[in-house]
Amino acid sequence: MSVNLSEITITPDEGVKHALSIYNQYGGVLIKGLFKNEVDKLNDDLEPHMCQREPGIEHEWEFMKEFAGKKTKRLTRVPLLSQTFREDMINNPLLLECINGIFDEVSDSAWLSTAQVIEIQPEEKSQYLHRDCDNYPLFRRFGCKMPDIMCNCIVALSEYTEEMGATRAIPGSHIWDDFSYQPTQEETIAIVMEKGDAFLFSGKTIHGGGTNISNKPRRAMAMAFNAGWLVPEEALPLVIPIEMAKTLTPQAQQLMGFRSFHNTKLEGGSVWTVNFEELGKYLEKNT
Ligand SMILES: O=C(O)CCC(=O)C(=O)O
Ligand SMILES: [Fe+2]
């Protein structure tokens, strides 16, 4: 399926139903200006930390270093570092409605898997094309029948042109019959965005960071979410101090691991508890 970017682009006023119908059909939806009011403030909050970051990550596996990009700066712990993120962005009503809709069949609520800045420097090569749900390899065996257990919202924090390394994606790859097929870059399209636009896509959709042939860095923030019964990528409860956690909205507390997860919709058990107690109550009493 060769798809034009305009086919998967909507404005926030078109609402959650429309956003999810595009997401389900193509495996992703580009929402114009979703964070246009917050990006400058977010960049201000993060700038001192980004200045200190060097490209590349520490990891024991060479594959992970390649995957993260040796000419790519990555900054994690964004909820700790940015007030705009933890007070405004994480509570974006349309994004949260979409997340709830995406996980509706599999989970009572979601966890924020990671919120990380990804800044692709000039001369970085394209990232390995992948599905984010490969964080949980067990699910590969279900192929396209796999439920949506993960999704990602990539927000443009800078200009986001093809030359600068805009995210590449293959719309429709979330429903390919053969999930073992490894596609080529030629099969992808560039998700060209303006600062503040957001691309929300399924963990089953093939994508990767683009090649930066320009002389400017390309900055994005990936806000990934997983079903509440899966372990997230970032251990945010070990990073965010309790006093800060208490200032979050109840929904943000749930997303960042300061509430228990109750598997009520599918009639399962409660997890992430202390002595069977809801974590929210435990924290109120013990901190
Ligand atoms: O930087 C990008 O555009 C995509 C990054 C990505 O997909 C990842 O690191 O999992
Ligand atoms: Fe990814």
Counting from 1 in the atom list of ligand 1, the atom nearest the Cα of 69 is 9
Ligand 1 centre to CA of 120 (Å) is 10
pLDDT in tens, 146-171: 999 999 999 999 999 999 999 999 99
Task: Give distance in angstroms: CA of 177 to centre of ligand 2.
Answer: 20
pLDDT in tens, 110-130: 999 999 999 999 999 999 999
pLDDT score recorded for residue 286: 79
Q: Is the dihedral of CA 250, 255, 261, 264 positive or negative?
A: positive
Q: Which atom of ligand 1 is nearest to the CA of 68?
A: 9
| Ligand 1 atom 7, closest CA | 208
Categorize the per-residue pLDDT at 23 as very low, low, confident or very high, splitting at 50, 70 and 90.
Answer: very high
Domains delineated in the chain: 5-237 (2.60.120.620)
Strands (E), the chain: 9-10, 28-31, 72-75, 110-120, 150-156, 168-169, 189-190, 198-202, 207-208, 218-227, 261-262, 270-271
132 alpha carbon to ligand 2 midpoint, in Å? 5
**pTM of this structure:** 0.97
Position 31: which residue type? I
Rounded distance between C-alpha atoms, residue 86 and residue 83, angstroms: 5
Residues forming a β-bridge with 22: none
Residues 232-281 have pLDDT tens digits of 999 999 999 999 999 999 999 999 999 999 999 999 999 999 999 999 99
Ligand 1 environment, Cβ below 6 A: 118, 127, 132, 154, 167, 207-209, 220, 222
- pLDDT at residue 1, as a whole number: 59
